[in-house]
Amino acid sequence: MEIIVQLFPFIFLIAIMYFVIIRPQQTEAKAKKAMIEALSKGDKVITNGGFIVVVYKVEENFLSVKINDDTIVKITKDSIAKKYESEA
């Protein structure tokens, strides 16, 4: 019985760390993955580098994006920070 009483604070701390740190990160990662999978042609996104680009073509691991009217580049899906929502 003493062992359980001695281990209780450690179990309590691990539970707190799970609900404060690990679980929110997992839900955020799931939301980002769902957002990236839902991207389609014409969506505006912000890259990790800070560029606001328009999705031109969606591929399995990459996105072709338009930086301006003449420039189309290919980037990885992991380099997308978030979807751009205009302020208007």
State pLDDT tens for residues 7-47: 999 999 999 999 999 999 999 999 999 999 999 999 999 99
Question: What percent of the chain is predicted at pLDDT more than 70?
Answer: 98
Full-model pTM: 0.75
- Report the C-alpha gap between 14 and 24 in whole angstroms: 15
Predicted pLDDT of residue 40: 94
CA distances from 43 to 20, 32, 54, 58 (A): 33, 15, 6, 11
